Structure formats: C-alpha cells, structure tokens
Structure 1
Amino acid sequence: MKRQLTTILAADIVNFSRLIGADEEGVLSRRRQHQAEVILPLLNDHGGRVANTAGDSWLIEFPSAVEALRFAIQGQTKVEALNAELEEQARIRYRIGINVGDVVAEGDDLLGDGVNIAARLEALAPAGGVVISRSVRDQVRDRLDLDLHDLGELEVKNIARPVRAFQVIRDGEERMAPPGARPRLRTPVMLAAVLAVILTIGSLYWMRQPDFDPVAPETMALTLPDRPSIAVLPFTTLGDDASADWISDGITENIISTLSLAPDMLVIGRATAFTYKGRLVEPAEVATDLGVRYVLSGSVLKSGEKVRVTAELSDAIKGEQLWSIKEDSDNKNILYVQDRIAESLFLEMQVSLTVGESNRTITALAGDFQTSVRVIQGRDAFQRFDPAGHREAERIWTELHETNPHSPIGPYLLGWLPWQRVIIGLADDPAVEFDESRRLVAKALSMQEWGDPYTLIALIESATGNYDEANTAATRAIKLSPGGADANAIGGVALFQSGDTKRGIEHMLKGMRLEPDYPEWLPGALYPALLEDGKYDDVISLTKSVLGRDMRDARAHPQAYAGLVAAYALKGDLENARQIVSNLKTENPNLNVADVTRLFSLQSQSPRPFHEVLINSLETVGVPRAVD
C-alpha cells in the first residue's frame, strides 16, 4: 500500500441529473466543449493528473496547492465566460473542493481521508465556487493574492476531526454563510431585525415557484389511488459503455420488484415502466399518463469497474423534486445502492415493507447483481414467444443455474420453458412438459418461497382443469406479492377459471391498474369474467380500447370483437350486436358459437350456467351453434 502527501481537487457539475433530463444532447455537448477548451488545456498548463472521473465529476491530483488553486480559479472564470451567452437554465456550473492530505494510491486511482475531505469540501461549495481546506490555505496564502472567506471548523462525514474551510472569493462572488452558523442575538433591536428577516425568508419560501407545473388529479388518465403510488422510470445510461445499459435495467427492475412487495402501495409494473425507456419525459407527463403521485428517475454511468448511480424523486401533485441521491459503487455493491434508493422511497412515502429481507428483490433471489442481469436478459428472449427466443432463454438460464446451483431463481426460470414449449407448439406431449414445469417449480420453492412460482403453478393447473389447485396457487401468489402486476393478473385468471368470478375480476383489474400498458393477453381473459358478472358496459369500453390499439398478439382483436358481440347481445342491444356479426361473417362466413367461445377459452372450463346464457344470446344475434 503506497501512501503519499499530495494535493487533491474534486469537482462536479451542479444539478447534473436535472440538466441531463431537460436536454441530454445539449448538456453532453457543452460538457465536451468544457473538457476540450477549458479542463484539458488548464490541466496541461498546471501539471494536473486526472485520478478518476465519473460522468459529471473529476478527481485530479496536482504537484502543488498553488497550481491546483490556479487551475480552479481560471477554470471557473473561463466556464463563466462560456455560460454568458446561454439561458440560465442551460448553464453548466461546477463546484470545486481542494485539499492537501495523505492518500493511498491504487494504480492510477487515489483513496483515503485526503480524497474524502476534498470531496466533502466540493459538496459544500456554491455553484461556480471553490472551497479549500486550511492545509491548502497554509500553502498558498503567501504565494497568491486571494480573498478568503473563513467558514470555520466544519464537521465532515466519516472524518474524525473537524476541518477548517475557506471559500475563495472571486470578483462579484457572494460570500456563503458558514454551514451550521447561528446568529448571536445581542439586543432586542437585533432580535427584531432577525425575526423580520426570518419572516421575509419564510414568506418567500412559501411563495416560491414549484419545480414544474403541478398535476391536478382530475386531469390524470387513470384515477389517482388513495394509497401511495409511484412509477419508476428506466434509469438512463450515460457514457459509451454498452454493458451499463443492462446495469440500468437491472437497477430499475430491482427497485420495482422491491417496492411491489409492499401491500399498501401501488407500483407501476415493469412492462409499463419500460415503455418510457429512451424517452425524455417530465414527471408531470408520466404522472398524468399513469395516475400516480410520485415519479422516480435516475441514471447510471459506468467507468471501468466503477459505477455512479443517481436517482431523483418527484412529487407530481406538488410539482416538486423531493430529493436526489448520488452514489458511487462497484458492480459488487450495486445491491446496496438500489436498496438504499428503495428504502428512501419507503421513508418518503411512509410505507412499511412487511416482508423479510431475503424476499426483497430479484438480486436477493439470484444471489448477486450480475446474475439478476442475466435473469433479465433471458426474460427478454423468452418474451418473444418464438423458437429462437425460447432457445436463447434456455441457453442463458441454464448457464445461470449451472453457475449458481444453490439459487432458487435457476429452477424457477427453467420451469417456464416446458410451459412455453406447449404454448408455442414445440411440445410432443404437453402432459410431460407440464409435469417437468411442476418438478422445477417445486424444487425452487423447496429452496425459498416467494410469489412468482405460484403464478406458473396456477397457469398449469387451470390449463389442465385442476381448478382447486389453481385457486390455491393463485391465492398464495397474491398473498406473497400483493403489489405484483403478474401475480394479480395471472392469479386473477386462475381464480376466475376455477369458479371465483368476483375475486378473479378484482385481481385482473388490479393487475391492469398496476400495469397500465397491460399484457395483450389480459383483456381476452377478462372479457368472459366481466360478462358473467353482468358488467357489459365495462366490456364494451375495454374492447373498443383494444380495437383502437395496434396489438402484436394475433388473438387480441378477434377476442375483442367476440367480447363486443357478446356484451351487446347480453345487454339487449341487438342492432349493434347483429351489425358486428354481419361484419365478422364477411370475413368468416362459417362463423359459429364455438369460434366465439374458443376465443374465451371456455371449452377448457367446467360447464357453468353462464355458458349456456352466453351461447343463447349469441344465437339470438345470428351466431349459430354449428355450421349450417
């Protein structure tokens, strides 16, 4: 371990995440301009060496405190000149902290208290300003003509002793208030003056403008729930490292999966969240689209093995950004970072997590963050529902399981593959494939219990007519993952098919609310349940919504037409029902009742009184029982 005494300069961009969110291309272009025209030339002039960089921050080593301070003052002045021609909201400003101290060199990187103090001083500096430690002041005060503002002894996080700090005042720069300073009230007149100032500041605080236009709940596309509600947007990947994109997706999914385990919270599901990937959207827009109060956004920047994660939480109802977090980590410690973000969200929304730590995230189940990324990569292939995607998912998940055989995530994921072989027509014997799925899921649950495996059990048992088993599995899935979109949607289907129509509708609708960009198969499963419950207008509304969308699932539009015909027929609107039947017969002259009920998968269910009612109503509007 090599120790040395050196001068460390820490710098970062003020409000970098917000700037990126507003104008990513413009900010990155101006950052490159600053690097080319200001930072690199001044580094050359003053002998600085970049020890570490991560997106909006730099850690630079200098041969002397004098050269470091000259670099800082000249750099801030040059950046100020470049900003002069820009609108206020487009300006990039830097904070700089400088310290002389003992550091540990690891390769080109520098670590230790000397670095930590420089970083803490940087965080204290005002936008466009420079703060230095007493050790720097002692080195430069007889060599440079400076106006130094004494900030006093400061308590610095993770540093045992207070640090004496000084603000470097450039021409026109205001003096900052010493952190933690309190005015000494010596006379009644001074007390009155201070109270007047406090009241003035207080009134300005309450009159301050919000960060963005607040969203009125009545303008939201979906009803704002009474309980806390949040959308977690896909974290943005910064920089050129392609592998960082999977890290961004992994963090996003793990935060969603953690939050969705809270029973008293509405968390928008991953499928809907990822429709925003690659889009620059404002919190207000997301909240309006999805009917949520809170919006979390963030970014990931990867540099070698180091990762910088930022996150920002906004309250759309108030029009305010509530807080932001910036964490530097390596790949092994990302689990800590994402959990810290999730915990901060729970505290902000005052939601208690009522499940054990071991059940919290995909990462916890997988064993490490890298494995959870492989889970996501395999699922992306799996969800193509074609032979090529199936083979790719099988390759990834088999390798994952062989690498980490003691994790329950491996057999659970592999359990979906036999089921999918049946669904996409690759199975020679569906019964054998379903038995293999049951075996693998049982193995996963013997290692650890959580909600998702029970959704697969519910699907298999309902498909094979074992409705009591399907009901039990669905109920267990929902109990263990009350905020999970899949657990509610799939569990709801199984509950309905096993005869519990009311609960089936309740959980299918909850799954749809948790995933506003709902799976394309879900409406087709919901139509017959709503029809049986007499909610004909709801079916008409839902079918028209589906027919107005471009759906990839070839079954979606035929199912919607079937639902629309049935709803009109059962409602007694025979004119509309017959018109749709006439249109359908133009494309399929041999249309019969079996064609319609097959779309609802009613043949696989135990006969129920409603089925005969539905068939009779279809006959009434011109759909025959059998081909004439």
Structure 2
Amino acid sequence: MGINLTEVIVEANDIFGDGVNLAARLQASAEPGGILLTAAVAEHVRTEKQLSLTDLGELKLKNMNRLVRAFGIAAAGRVQSPVAKLTALPDDRPSLIVLPFQLEPNSAEDAWFAEGIIEGIIHILSGIENLFVISRGTSLAYAGMAVDPRAVGRQLGVRYALSGVVQRAKGRLRVFTELSDASTGRLVRSDRRDGMLGDMFEMQDRIASEVVTAIAPAVRGRELARAMRKPPDSLTAYDLLLRALDLLYRLQPETFDRARGFLQQAMADDPGYGPAYSHAATWHMFRIGQGWSTNSAVDAEEARRCAAAALERDPNDPVALAIHGQMLSFTQRDYATALNFLDRAIAASPSCHMAWTLSSTTAGWIADGKRAVEHATRAMQLSPLDPFAFFTEHMLSQGHYINGDYQQAIAWGQRAVAHNSMLTSNLRTLAAALVAYGDLDAAREIARRILALDPNFSLMTFAARSPMSAKVLESHVPRLRAAGLPD
C-alpha cells in the first residue's frame, strides 16, 4: 500500500492529481504486505506508539522525474525489513548503494568517522553523469546488519553495492572497500586506504575522494562491457549512449560517424533522454575542432540546437549546463555567458569533473591561465583514472601554456598524446609550447602529425574559427607558423 497526503481532483466516482499518481507509485514499490508513506503522512503519524517508521531516504520511483522521501511502516512488534522492495530504475542507469562500513573495534568515535566517509562518497558519486546513487538515509537503514549485496540488489533494484571496514590501531586508520555486483554478488574491485590519525575531517574527504577515484572507472568500464554484450534490438538509450561515448572519445575518423548514429538512435528511442542531446552537441563540436566538418556553420548550429534541447529536458543537469557553456564559447565566443553556465554547472554538482574541465577550457581561451590550471587540476583530482582524462590533461597543458610555464605545458601535452594521439587541439597547443620553449625540431614533428590528421589545415581558417580570444591568438598563431603549419 502507498499513502500520500495532498489535494486531489474529484470527478464523479474518480479522483485525479499528482498526489494520486505518487501514492500509486509508492504502492507499486512496496513489498508484499508492506506500507510506504510520504514525508507528509509520516509527520502526522510519527507520534503513534503502535507504529514503527523507517526512514528510507529519497527514492527513485517509476515514471517520477524527482526523488521522493519515503517511510516504511509496520505495526508494533512486527519485524520489517529495513527497506521496501523497490522496482528497478526505469531508465537503466547504473545504480549504487554505499552500505554502512563495519568498525573494528566498534566505537562511537569511529562510527561518526565512517558515516562521514560514506556521506563524502555519496556526495562525490552523485556528481557522476548517468550514475544513480541511493541516498544516505536509505544506506544507514542497514547499519548494524550483515548485508548480502545480492539481497540489497533485490530490495532496491541497485546494480552495485559498496561496502567497507574501518580499522583503528596505534594512531593509524585503515579503510578497506569492496565494490560488488549486486545481481551476482561477485567482487568487482577491492582497495585499501591507510592514514595517520590527525585531522579527521581532512582524512574523511581524502578517503572519500580516493575511493570514488578508484571505483568510478570500474563501474563505467563494466557498464560499457555490459552494453557491448547486449543484442542490438535490446539496447536502451543509456546503452546506446555508452557505445556512442566509447567511439566519440577515441576520435578515430573511421568510427567517429558511428558515434553519431548511436546518439541519434538514443534520441529517437527516448526523446526525453537529455544526456544523448548533450553529447550530440559535443560530437558536432569535435567534428569542427578536428577539421572533419564539411560545413562548420551547419555543425555549429546543430551543436547549439542539441545543447539547448538537453537543457530543455533538464535545466539543472550539470553536464547539460557545462556542455551548453562549452558550446557558447566554442561556436560564438560568448565567454561571459559561457562562464555563467559553467559556474552554474559546478554549483549544481561540485564533484562533476566535466564541469571543471570545460570551465578550464573557456578560462584558457580568454587567457585566464590561473583559473584554467586550478579548474583542470580539480577535475583531475576528481577523476584521474577517467578514460577521457586525456582532454583534461590537454586543458592542463593549455593552462600552463597561457601562464608561460612551457615545460609543464609540454609535459601535460605529451601525457595527453600518450593517452590519445588524435586530439588535434592538444597537438596544436603542444606544438606552440615547443616553439616557445625553443625546441623547433620537436614542434615541427608535431606539426606534421597535425597535417596528417587535418590535411586541409590553414592558419587563416584556424584563426577565423578558433574559439580562442584575440589576446591568445596574437602569440599562438605565429608560434604555429614557426612550427611549420601553413598560412
């Protein structure tokens, strides 16, 4: 049963309204014989001694575009599972719960420390695109229990469970974590973190960040492998997006158009799925930047259309905000408005590494090297093992180049090349940095690579279409000419 307290519309023998729909969704999510209440109802019955309430936190209910705070209810003396059995997420995104960590030895001081780590992990994970993270309130409902990840998977419909152990001994802390596949119970990844007792809050933040850094790529890689195994006729919009991103960021001419095909299919299958539109905008911008566009004006207009469509579907999505900002800089050189969108993206999700990376991009284009380096550094801290980290490394190269630190610019540019040698904007920055540093032979070798990838490249066309400000282009173009790129 699902119970909600709200105004309804009565017509003849029927009742209508959003409140009725919410009650129906709660009922569909309750376990057999169970009762789920909204927060409004819970406030009215909280003082009833005959009833026992369990705060389930914010739940994702089928066909609801917002999270709903829910409570489980049982009569006094009845044993109730900590959470109701929930349906699987309808949009097929990977979902994860961070279970309460075990304490060795069990102490109140260690308990709050462990809860702080969990809260930090949940906060950072919530900023990862296409990952649904179960709320802290639901996680803590499992405190003090021996939990089988498979049971949690059945109850919550989650795909992954993160568990851990906190050990304290002789002034040191050790934290073990395990990421499990909740459908099979199979271990996906295990890690250990050590530290000295000292600033507990700093240690909480560090451990939370390091744990997410380790598990996020594992989840993404496993999800891509899962999507690749699916037959074509069973792919969801999310599966199609995963396949598209895998091809998009390879930047291989022979597979680049296939990425667009997957994105178009995702948009056709689920017209309300915003991420497909955001990354379609990115596809068009890369097509221009790589020199592969046959009509850059058409691609720029498509990038604008797709970026706007993504925001229409979710105006608060940090990735949609960030890519919209990138589009404004890249296609219009509207830096002020772009930075406004990028700042909003970071405010919406301070742990969204893409927002920090793209903010660094625009900062570099307007010669704000300090901000460019700071924001790209933050992005690397959030996701250093990301398979698309080569773009963030390129932004670090660009930021150091703007600052005149050419050694660092070269080092980061070469690192980005090692991870993806196809990104022509990185090769241009690297060539210019090598010229500024005085290594003309190495710069000319990079210029030859650029022309191999973009045979029609010319400095005149580049300067006309580049998203860089005139202040940056003033020194950048002569250096590219010195590297051997044609006018």
Normalised by the size of structure 1, how large is the TM-score?
0.39
Q: For the pair shown, which has the larger CA radius of gyration, 1 or 2?
A: 1
Normalised by the size of structure 2, how large is the TM-score?
0.48
